[in-house]
Structure 1
Amino acid sequence: MTEGEVLNYRFQTITQEQAKILPITGIIMATILSMI
């Protein structure tokens, strides 16, 4: 793999991780706001 391909692969992996985390964060925020 070239350096560009490695960077692209890492970026895709990070984006996928964030996509998994974001909905969870949104649910937690909504739960906290509804308690107030």
Structure 2
Amino acid sequence: MSLNRTQIVNWLYRCGEIFTKERDFLTGLDKEIGRR
């Protein structure tokens, strides 16, 4: 299976989006735990 440049860029972009959302979620959890 060979990927062209556009597919790789799109895939990386999507992974980055998911990672950012997860990081925001985890940061929120840390703050919640820190308040207790």
Do these two structures clear the TM 0.5 threshold for a shared fold by scoring above it?
Answer: yes
The structure that is helix-richer by fraction is: 1
| Distance (Å, rounded) in 2 between the aligned partners of 1:17 and 1:3 | 22
Give the fraction of aligned pairs with identical amino acids, expressed as a percent.
6
Q: Under a length normalisation based on structure 1, what TM-score does the superposition of the two structures give?
A: 0.71
Alignment of 1:1-36 (within 5 A): 3-35=4-36
RMSD over equivalenced CA pairs, Å:
1.4
Q: Which runs of 4+ in 1 moved over 2 A?
A: none
Alignment size in residue pairs: 34
Structure 1, unmatched stretches of 5+, are none
